[in-house]
Structure formats: C-alpha cells, structure tokens
Amino acid sequence: MINYCLVTTLGSEQEQSHLITWPDSPLLQQDVLRNNPLIAEMTARAAQGKLADTGFGCGPFARITIVPQNAWQDSLTDSLLTFLRPLFATPICSNVLLDCTYIHNTALTKTLRFLFNQAHTLTDLGLKTSARSDVRLTHIDAFCSDAEQARLETLFSQQQAIANGMIAARRLADTPSEQCTPQYVVEEAQRLCTPFSTLRCEVLDEQAIIEQSLGLLHAVGKGASRPPRLLAIHYEGASHGPVRSYVGKGVTFDTGGLWLKEGAGMYTMKYDMCGAANVLGLMLCIAELKLPVRVMGVLALAENAIGPDAMQPGSVARACNGMTVEINNTDAEGRLVLSDAIAWASQRHAQTQYIIDLATLTGAVVKALGYELSGLMTQDNALRSALTTAGEQSGDEVWSLPLDARLKKQTESAIADLCNTPTNNAAISASAAWLLHHFCPADIPWAHLDVSGTALWREGGKSVASGRPIPLLMQHLLNDLDIRE
C-alpha cells in the first residue's frame, strides 16, 4: 500500500522526492530553486503548454516535473494524467511531492487514484521472469494550505481506500482464466474479506444453484468442467436499515459457447468477470472506510465453455423468479447470469434500497460511448440523476441510454417469456437492459451499468483491468449517506 502525508511546509523529509508542480507554484519560489536557471527554463516551457521534466540539477529534489497550468484545472480530458502517466511507467523516485495548491477537485481525485493504483502492476502476478524495477512509488506527500488540510485529509483517505478496492479488483481480473475459475474467485474473496469482521461470505455451489432454481446461471455454467458459483458478500456496518445491493457479472472466461467467438474477439475474455471483481473491490472499500450502512454484493460466477453439456441455441431456461428465457444466442450469456443474480438479490432481503448491476455486457456500448463513459440504463429517474452526479464528481462518468417499453419487441419469444437477444441486431445494449429489468421487482429501484468500454485500460495495444466503476459507485454511496445524515 502507498502511504501519504499532507504537509503545509517543506522539510528534510521531502528532499530527494519527485516534485510535481505547476509553473507559478510558490514551491518554485524557494531560495534553493528561485535562482536556478534550469527551473526558469522549465517554467517557461510549461507556460507554453509543454511538459517540463528533469532529474538533473534540481536539488534538493531528485526529480522535478512542471505540468502546464491549464492541465491542473482540466477535469474532463485528463490532460494532467496524460502528462504524468508515462513518467510512472519507469519511476525514479519512491516518494512523490504533489503540489495541491492549484488543482480542480475532480482532477485531484483522478490523480490520487492513479498514484495510489501504482501499488499494483502486472508484474506483481509473478508470471514474468524478467526482473522488476527496483523503484516503486511508496509514499505521497501532498503540499497544501492550512485552510485546505482538513478537507484534503478526508479526500485522500477516501481515494486511498477506493484505490485499494480497485487494486483488489484489478489483480483478480488480470489473473489468467485457467487459474481464475469461479471457485478461485470465491476463495480469493473469502481470503480478502477475512480481515474485516463486518464482511461475511455466502456461497452457493452448483448443487445449491440448482436447488434454488437459478436456472439461467446453471445453463451458462453447466458446459464447463469448472462449475458455476453464486457468491454473496454481506456487509453489516449498521444493525438495521435497508440494504443496498450490487450485482456483478462474473464470467471467468467467455468462449461464446456454441455460438463461438472468433479468436480476436476471445483474446480479452478473461476480463468478462470485471463486473464481479469490481463488486468485490467495492465491498472491500466499504469495509475499509467502515461506512454505517448495510450492503450486499452478489457475484454471479460461471465459465461459458464448449462441452457436451453446453447450453444450445433454442433451449429454454427458467430463472429463480420463475420467468423463462429462450437462449437464441449462447454468446449473450452475461445477461443470463445477471438476470438470475438480480432476481436472487431482490428476494434476499425484506427491504432493499436499490439494486445496481455492473457488467462488461455488450460491445455495442463501446461503439456508442467509447472507452471513457460507462453506459447507464434505468427507469428510476432519481437513481439516474444520483449516479450521473456521482460520475461527474468522481471523474468516473456515465451516460444514460434509453430504456422503456419501445424495446419490448427486442426480447419477445414465441416459446418463452423472453429471448436473450434481439433478432434484428438493433439497440443491443438497451435491449440487454430491457431483458434485465424484468428480474428486478418494480418497487425496487434498479440501474444497469454496461462497463465494456471502461472496465479495461487500453494503452499500447494492450488491455489491463482498470477498476472502474468502483470510484463512481463509492461516490454515489458517499453522497447517498451524506443526504441521509
């Protein structure tokens, strides 16, 4: 874990740190830097909108980075992170001194999450034989004014906890699928939850899934040699009150089933369980912050494989709420496991405040919104507004897509209550959400987050788990608690 400290004056502890600042910062007016011609040259370069960075002649610091002033106020396009990200690919300092005297609040939250997330890289999985860099970021000093210290202390502690949850989710999602099976996810969740007395794991194995009539989850998982699981993580931060529920798609690998994907489309399918991984990370974050609330996270875990028992196009399965679904496309399996998990979650508690599901569900949402925005689909206007606001505040934004009865024909079936994909290949993302809404009772507010574009971070032709939308969901929950206090 990366530690932090808020400072209002500099001391010897900050020497040999990596200073990240802006052109007119008071930090650059210190005697030791004010008359340094190199700093003057760097300041002039940054004033022209260019990054100025050096590890030479910048004592008492080991490295100085001056980022153009407008980047510190950019909460939309992440220009500050665009400047910083390459520098941390091969860091030269274990300590960072971050100048917080001139930065937009949302830009700061994004920057903090980025820095705290440096605690995990792919090499930490131990699968690469080449030596790792000896230098890792271990400590952040944040320079701020006395007046800002109390506010920033809260912000830093929250973003550190959020980053810790993101790291747990990223580590799990990055793990190759031959290791990261449904049972492995259960065991990792149990291990990670054990230190928190407020967290309790409830596991349904393949037999319990059948006994509790989760026929859609069973249909998806029965073709694999590694059977499905349903994992419910219960957080009791309060003795009473409504339960907020989160449901995550956890398809640990998706071949497409008998509706087989092509090779290029299958390459990143170990990440088809990012929704479930992020629900786990969210629950760990809630427990770390000790929030006074009751929460349930449900992970619907299955491998969509090819085998003698694999579900077949045209088959019909029954969910735990009694509704039947015609499976006309075995590669639309995520909405099946989610439907059962949503229905199960809605029946689990007498009083549920809302259910939010998250899933890498459709490639269509990427075509619609790209890689920066998660798709939001709900018929509850209050929940839509709250999630949209939380997205703007956290920098983990959503964009609402339509969801109403005009989509009804997209899920009609001649043989069952519903079919899992529209035959006309239209409105794929919204049609999936229309299917899902049948499995949450009308008296429980429900929202669906399609995170196919945002659950992964893509750079240099490679993809890794991003940990989104944990920041969005945490901000939404924090806002919700503030409103009710």
Point out the residues that are catalytic: 261, 335
**Single-letter code of the amino acid located at 159:** Q
Q: Which residue has the tokens 């760097």?
A: 42
Q: Contact, 19 vs 61, CB < 8 A?
A: yes
Helices (H), 212-303: 215-221, 263-266, 274-289
Cβ neighbours of 114 (radius 10 Å):
17
At CA 146, angle to CA 72 and CA 140, rounded to 5? 55
Q: Contact, 6 vs 156, CB < 8 A?
A: yes
The CA distance from 412 to 326, in Å, is 9
The helix/strand/coil state of 15 is coil
Axis-axis angle for helices 182-193, 149-174 (nearest 10)? 150
Sign of CA dihedral 361, 367, 371, 372: negative
Which candidate, 120, 275, 66, 261, places its Cα nearest to that of 185? Answer: 275
The CA distance from 96 to 71, in Å, is 18
Backbone angles phi, psi at 90, to 5 degrees: -140, 75
Q: Contact, 311 vs 223, CB < 8 A?
A: yes
The secondary structure of 29-47 as a DSSP string is GSHHHHT-HHHHHHHHHHH
Parallel/antiparallel/unpaired status of strands 243-254 and 352-359: parallel
Cβ neighbours of 424 (radius 10 Å):
10
Which candidate, 399, 394, 330, 328, places its Cα nearest to that of 368? Answer: 399
Question: Following CA atoms 314, 318, 319, 321 in sequence, which dihedral angle do they give, to the nearest 10 degrees?
Answer: 140
The helix/strand/coil state of 98 is strand
Q: Contact, 375 vs 429, CB < 8 A?
A: yes
The CA distance from 400 to 230, in Å, is 29
